[in-house]
């Protein structure tokens, strides 16, 4: 049992955002650890090679490394309950995160939307799934829709919230917000979240704000977010 009282509901749409290095992935990994303890099903789409690798220390977590040029049977993959998907270094060198998302992760999300239920889907660099800041990507929009119907639980992570489509932003059930110092982001969040600036000013590095629309906010101190596995961010 954790000392931090953030629950893992049956379903949700969680958004995690903040500047680079603020603690988004560390916290997402913490959420996954909580889900694992409860025996929940999950799948993480990572865009970094190492980042979440510590999570495979958890018994039963299956690791899939995406190697460019290889074809994958997504249906087979979804037979596993707890999955971490990461690119190899070579994949990133050859096709970049953009290629990884386009060629592998978007088709996988589509397959999840079609067949999978009762699973937490963690999407790193979620802004990359959208064609523009105005238009949500189809795969992400579908996933959020299933979230509203209580079938899939999405955790979307982004470092550029002002560029994240408002249509998706408004659908989030919970927001986990780390420090922001890019003026454009602060202005944007001031419009979207009651009292944002004051809260943001109180945050130390790796502290976060939990925001539950329309107006519930609280600060969560970094000491409360304690990982059981190693984070390589
Ligand atoms: N609550 C915490 N306590 C201690 N260390 C933390 C905490 N949160 C984050 N860190 C450390 O801060 C560093 C950055 O964290 P993390 O990798 O989660 O950043 P990020 O927001 O995901 O960055 P990026 O946008 O670059 O992916 C890591 O070394 C991580 O271990
Ligand atoms: Mg990260």
* pLDDT tens sequence across 87-99: 999 999 999 999 9
Q: Which of 49, 97, 182, 206 to mutate to test the pocket of ligand 1 (most atoms within 8 A of CB)?
A: 206
Task: Name the nearest CA neighbour of 145 among 174, 170, 163.
Answer: 170
So what's the pLDDT on residue 149? Answer: 78
So what's the pLDDT on residue 1? Answer: 44
Weakly modelled stretches of the chain, pLDDT under 70: 1-2
> Quick count: other Cβ atoms within 10 Å of Cβ 38?
8
Pocket of ligand 1 (CB under 6 A): 18, 20-26, 159, 206, 222, 225, 231, 233
Residue 16: partners with Cβ closer than 8 Å, 6 or more residues away = 24, 27, 28, 155, 156, 157, 158, 175, 176, 177, 178
| Topology adopted by domain 13-224 | Rossmann fold (3.40.50)
So what's the pLDDT on residue 85? Answer: 99
Longest dimension (CA), the chain: 49
| Nearest residue (CA) to ligand 1, atom 9 | 23
List the chain domain ranges. Answer: 13-224
Q: How far apart are CA 226 and CA 4, in angstroms?
A: 9
pLDDT tens per residue across span 193-222:
999 999 999 999 999 999 999 999 999 999
| Nearest residue (CA) to ligand 1, atom 3 | 222
Q: How far apart are CA 207 and CA 177, in angstroms?
A: 9
So what's the pLDDT on residue 12? Answer: 95
So what's the pLDDT on residue 206? Answer: 98
């Amino acid at each position: 049992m954790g000392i931090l009282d953030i629950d893992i509901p049956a379903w949700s749409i969680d958004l995690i955002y903040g500047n680079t290095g603020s603690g988004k992935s560390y916290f997402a990994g913490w959420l996954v650890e909580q889900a694992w303890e409860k025996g929940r099903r999950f799948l993480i789409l990572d865009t970094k090679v190492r980042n979440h690798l510590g999570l495979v220390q958890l018994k039963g977590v299956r690791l899939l490394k995406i190697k460019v040029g290889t074809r994958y049977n997504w249906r087979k993959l979804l037979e596993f309950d707890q999955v971490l998907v990461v690119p190899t270094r070579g994949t990133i060198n050859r096709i970049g995160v953009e290629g990884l998302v386009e060629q592998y992760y978007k088709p996988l999300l589509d397959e999840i939307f079609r067949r999978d239920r009762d699973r937490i889907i963690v999407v790193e660099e979620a802004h990359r799934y959208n064609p523009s800041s105005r238009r949500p990507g189809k795969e992400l929009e579908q996933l959020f829709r299933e979230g509203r119907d209580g079938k899939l639980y999405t955790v979307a992570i982004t470092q550029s919230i002002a560029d994240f489509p408002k249509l998706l932003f408004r659908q989030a059930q919970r927001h986990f917000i780390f420090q922001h110092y890019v003026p454009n982001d602060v202005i944007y969040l001031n419009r979207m979240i009651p009292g944002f600036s004051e809260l943001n000013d109180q945050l130390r590095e790796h502290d976060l704000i939990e925001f539950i629309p329309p107006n519930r906010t609280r600060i969560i101190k970094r000491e409360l977010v304690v990982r059981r596995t190693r984070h390589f961010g």
